[in-house]
Each structure stands twice: as structure tokens, then as C-alpha cells.
């Protein structure tokens, strides 16, 4: 009886010793924290860095504002010039209309023949539109523009021919020359004239403007990186002792770098918002004078505001520039932040 009871006790001890549950529990403990816990810790670290950056900028509102204002002015210059160039291109009107082909008809061409010629030209390839101006209409328009109305009335007959204005589908010098040659061979056409000088001059001016804006953008982007880099460097120097203590107790470079990167991005965001506001106000202020000037020439032209897409691009670009400038500044000084 005693031997049997002793045997059962031994079996229970052996079974308990061989139970895999404690081993499994120990193995589970060795796996470390779960992915959810790690992700929550990562979010908390970034939230803490962002709030710390906002708090430090809030302690120096005037200095932070003027830093953002300097960056905003630098951002506004190339963006504003680019918007003005776009408006100048739109002011030039349709490139096709600027490159019209003028067909001077023979003096014996009747209005019906002119209208028939217009219908024939509209069916040709490479033509967007065609308009017939009769001899009487041409004379009336010339009298209004020249101021020689009374003198022209003394002429025995109208010396001006009928004109067909042809608007090309696209502006290409070789294609326009080929179109002019085809139009000159049409019946009742005495002369086909194409004037591309104005178009070529405007295109050259706009191309020069684009290059100037590109060069100015490169220079101002470099200046912005220097401004944000110098600003972040001052913040690093102000916190040098704190950073050395953090690194002394085991703080990583990424932990030290993170608040300054958020600070650079916040500077960029503030500069982008201010730049958008400056551009919107400047274009609206300039638009009053432009509308008055255009009205004197019988035009309803007005400056377009800042498109939403361009404004969003401006914000994203400013944030990116602030982030890059902060990264460069921290990377440059990080090796100097080792504890002494």
C-alpha cells in the first residue's frame, strides 16, 4: 500500500517536471513586446517630439515668426515670378491667333467668292478657324484706326482688298510655312502673309524668363537651406548640455535628431502658409492696376490668383526644405554632441 502510494507520488512529480507549460510561458516571455506595443511606443515618441518642438517654438514667438517670414519672402520671389510669367503667356492670347495667316484677295473677288474660300479653308488640315473680312469692312476699320476718314472718302473707289484671316491649329514654324504656301495657291488669293516675328519674340522672352526663374529658385533654395540650418544650429547650441546628458544615458542619434527635424518641418510649414498669403495678397493688389490698364486697351484681362495645386505644392516644398535643412544641420553637428 505504502509502495503503491509512493509510486503514484513519483509519477505525479515526474509528470509535473515534464509539463511543457512553464517552458512555453518562458519562451513567450523571451519573444519580447508585441508589434502593437512597439508601434504605440513609436507613435508616442514622435508625438512627444512634435509637442516638444511646438512648445519650444511657442516660447520664442517673435523670433519664430520672423524666421518663417524670411523663408516666406524667399519662397514668394520665384513662385511669384513663375505665376507672372504664366499670366504673361495667357496675356499673349492664343498663340494660334497671334500667328494668323492673312490672305489678301484680288480686287475683283466678290463677297460670295470670299465666303466660299472660307468654307474651303476650314476643311483643310492644320486650320483651326477662318474669317472673311470684306472690302467695305476693311475700309471702315482702316478709317477708324487711321483717322483719315475724310480723306479716304475722296478716293474714287475702295483700294483695299478683301481679307481672309486663317488661324492655324498649332504653332510650328515649318508647319506654318507649309500652310502659307498651300493657302497662297488657292484661287483669288493675291498674297499670303505670315508674321511670326511677334510670336518668336514672345517665346524668346518667356524662355528667358523661365531660365531666370529657375536660376533664382536654385539660389533661393540654397539660401533657405542656410537659413534653416543656421536656425537649427542655434537651437542645438542652446540644448548642448541637455543633449550630452541624453547621449550619456544611452540616447540614440535618432532620438536626439527627431525634435530638430520636426522643428525644421514646422518652420517650413509656417513659411509656406505665409508665402501663400503673401502671393495671394500681392497678386490681388497688383490686379487692380492690371485691370485698369487692360480696360484702356479694350481688354477684360485680369491676373489669375494662386491655383490651389500650386499652393499645396508650395506648402509641401516648404516643409520638405525645412526638413532637409534641419537634417543637414543636425547631421553636421551630431558628432560634436558626444558626452565629454
**Which CATH number characterizes residue 160's domain?**
3.30.70.3040
Question: What's the CA gap between 281 and 287, in Å, rounded?
Answer: 10
Statement to judge: residues 49 and 64 lie in one domain:
yes
Is residue 241 situated within a structural domain? yes
Is residue 84 situated within a structural domain? yes
Statement to judge: residues 88 and 73 lie in one domain:
yes
Statement to judge: residues 114 and 132 lie in one domain:
yes
Q: Which residue has the higher pLDDT, 333 or 111?
A: 111
Is residue 105 situated within a structural domain? yes
Domain boundary at 177, 194, 211, which?
194
Domain boundary at 145, 174, 194, which?
194
Statement to judge: residues 210 and 146 lie in one domain:
no
How far from the centroid of its chain's Cα atoms is residue 230's Cα? 26
Question: What's the CA gap between 267 and 230, in Å, rounded?
Answer: 12
Task: Lowest mean pLDDT of 152-161, 185-194, 286-295, 300-309, name the range.
Answer: 152-161
Tell me how many domains the chain contains. 2
Range of the domain at 82: 44-93+201-337
Is residue 19 situated within a structural domain? no
Q: Which segments within the chain are labelled E, that is strand? A: 101-105, 127-133, 163-168, 189-194
Is residue 30 situated within a structural domain? no
pLDDT in tens, 194-235: 877 776 777 788 788 888 888 888 888 888 888 888 888 888
Arithmetic mean of pLDDT over the chain: 78
Q: Pick from 80, 72, 334: which is nearest to 223 by CA? A: 72
Banded pLDDT at 26 (limits 50, 70, 90): very low
CA distances to 64, 78, 80, 326 from 73, rounded to whole Å, are 14, 9, 10, 19
Question: What's the CA gap between 160 and 143, in Å, rounded?
Answer: 11
Percent of the chain with pLDDT over 90: 7
Is residue 292 situated within a structural domain? yes
Classify each residue of 242-252 as buried b or exposed e, where b means 16 or more C-beta atoms within 10 Å of its C-beta: ebbebbeeeee
Is residue 12 situated within a structural domain? no
pLDDT in tens, 101-122: 888 888 888 888 888 888 888 8
Sequence-separated (6 or more) residues with CB below 8 Å from residue 274: 68, 69, 71, 72
Statement to judge: residues 331 and 215 lie in one domain:
yes
* Model pTM score: 0.62
Strands lying side by side in the sheet with 189-194: 127-133, 163-168, 101-105, 189-194
Is residue 11 situated within a structural domain? no
Amino acid at each position: 500500500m505504502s509502495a503503491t502510494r509512493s509510486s503514484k507520488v513519483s509519477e505525479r512529480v515526474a509528470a509535473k517536471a515534464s509539463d511543457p507549460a512553464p517552458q512555453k510561458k518562458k519562451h513567450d516571455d523571451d519573444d519580447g513586446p508585441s508589434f502593437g506595443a512597439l508601434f504605440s511606443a513609436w507613435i508616442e515618441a514622435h508625438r512627444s517630439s512634435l509637442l516638444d518642438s511646438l512648445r519650444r517654438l511657442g516660447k520664442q514667438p517673435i523670433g519664430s515668426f520672423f524666421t518663417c517670414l524670411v523663408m516666406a519672402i524667399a519662397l514668394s520671389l520665384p513662385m511669384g515670378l513663375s505665376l507672372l510669367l504664366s499670366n504673361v503667356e495667357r496675356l499673349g492670347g492664343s498663340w494660334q491667333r497671334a500667328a494668323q495667316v492673312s490672305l489678301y484677295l484680288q480686287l475683283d473677288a466678290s463677297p460670295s467668292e470670299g465666303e466660299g474660300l472660307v468654307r474651303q479653308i476650314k476643311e483643310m488640315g492644320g486650320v483651326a478657324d477662318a474669317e472673311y473680312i470684306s472690302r467695305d469692312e476693311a475700309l471702315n476699320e482702316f478709317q477708324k484706326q487711321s483717322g483719315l476718314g475724310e480723306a479716304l472718302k475722296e478716293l474714287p473707289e475702295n483700294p483695299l482688298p478683301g481679307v481672309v484671316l486663317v488661324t492655324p491649329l498649332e504653332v510650328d514654324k515649318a508647319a506654318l510655312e507649309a500652310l502659307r504656301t498651300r493657302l497662297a495657291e488657292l484661287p483669288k488669293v493675291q498674297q499670303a502673309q505670315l508674321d511670326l516675328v511677334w510670336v518668336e519674340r514672345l517665346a524668346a522672352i518667356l524662355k528667358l524668363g523661365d531660365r531666370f526663374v529657375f536660376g533664382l529658385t536654385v539660389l533661393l533654395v540654397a539660401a533657405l537651406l542656410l537659413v534653416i540650418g543656421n536656425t537649427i544650429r542655434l537651437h542645438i547650441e542652446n540644448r548642448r548640455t541637455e543633449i550630452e546628458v541624453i547621449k550619456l544615458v544611452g540616447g540614440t542619434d535618432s532620438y536626439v535628431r527627431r525634435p530638430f527635424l520636426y522643428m525644421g518641418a514646422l518652420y517650413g510649414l509656417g513659411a509656406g502658409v505665409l508665402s501663400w498669403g503673401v502671393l495671394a495678397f500681392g497678386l490681388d493688389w497688383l490686379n487692380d492696376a492690371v485691370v485698369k490698364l487692360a480696360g484702356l486697351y479694350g481688354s477684360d484681362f485680369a491676373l489669375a490668383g494662386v491655383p490651389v495645386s500650386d499652393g499645396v505644392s508650395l506648402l509641401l516644398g516648404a516643409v520638405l526644405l525645412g526638413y532637409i535643412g534641419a537634417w543637414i544641420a543636425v547631421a553636421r553637428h551630431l558628432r560634436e554632441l558626444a558626452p565629454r
